[in-house]
Every structure is written in structure tokens, then in C-alpha cells.
């Protein structure tokens, strides 16, 4: 990830009741361009899916800039992480292996029970 850019934050979604990873998370880069580079380099590698995270509830993450002309966010949605072993450390490691530095991360419990 070192060739992609600087990671501002990362979050792993975990099951609220078990505390185990649900196999997905979010990674925020310092710029949209860096996020786009990460999508091109990582999407499909090792079975993971990397897309822009949508701000609008109920919309699926997108792989490229939306057709509406809105600028994409620098926040990415990552799924296909090795669940239930995935945690902040493994998400960090995945990005640091590419040379990106992670400034902040946290685990997000899924309170929906799904």
C-alpha cells in the first residue's frame, strides 16, 4: 500500500455478540486519488473486494466515481477479509505491506445482529 498513499484511519466491522470480525471494514486515505490507486491495486487480490464507500444509506459501494458527477470520498469499503480472524492489526498489515502508514484505526461492533 505504500505506493497508494497515506491511510488516515481504518475500521473493522465486528459481530457485536461475539466480537469476531464480519470480514469487512473501511479504510480512509488522505486523498481521493490515493483511494483510487488502492482500488486499482487491491480489488480482487486474494479474494478481497475494495470499493468506494457510499455516504448514502442503502446504496451499494461503487468501484469508480459516480455517474451523478459527485466527487467520490477518500473512504473505501473492504470486504472479503479472512473472517473471523480479521482485526485491526491484520487490516493495518494488509495496507502497511504496500508501504502505507496507518494513522488511526478502530473496531466497529455491528449492533444490528446480522
Instruction: Name the DSSP letter for residue 44.
Output: T
CA 77 to chain centre: 4
Q: Are 84 and 43 in contact (CB under 8 A)?
A: no
pLDDT, tens digit (0-9, with 9 covering 90-100), for 1-47:
445 778 888 888 888 888 888 888 888 888 888 888 888 888 998 88
Please tell me the predicted confidence (pLDDT) of residue 90. 72
Q: What is the pTM of this model?
A: 0.63
Strands (E), the chain: 7-15, 21-29, 49-52, 75-79, 105-110
**Cis? peptide before 84, omega within 30° of 0:** yes
Please tell me the predicted confidence (pLDDT) of residue 58. 39
Please tell me the predicted confidence (pLDDT) of residue 5. 77
Please tell me the predicted confidence (pLDDT) of residue 78. 80
Please tell me the predicted confidence (pLDDT) of residue 111. 63
pLDDT, tens digit (0-9, with 9 covering 90-100), for 56-114:
433 445 455 445 555 677 888 887 776 566 666 777 777 777 676 666 666 566 666 55
Amino acid at each position: 500500500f505504500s505506493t497508494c498513499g497515506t491511510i488516515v484511519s481504518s475500521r473493522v466491522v465486528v459481530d457485536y455478540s461475539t466480537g469476531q470480525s464480519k470480514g469487512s471494514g473501511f479504510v480512509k486515505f488522505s486523498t481521493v486519488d490515493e483511494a483510487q490507486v488502492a482500488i486499482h491495486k487491491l480489488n480482487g487480490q486474494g479474494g478481497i473486494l475494495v470499493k468506494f464507500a457510499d455516504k448514502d444509506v442503502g446504496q451499494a459501494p461503487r468501484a469508480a466515481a459516480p455517474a451523478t458527477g459527485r466527487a467520490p470520498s477518500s473512504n473505501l469499503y473492504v470486504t472479503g477479509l479472512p473472517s473471523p480472524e480479521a482485526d485491526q492489526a491484520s487490516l493495518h498489515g494488509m495496507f502497511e505491506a504496500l508501504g502505507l502508514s496507518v494513522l488511526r484505526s478502530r473496531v466497529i461492533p455491528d449492533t444490528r445482529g446480522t
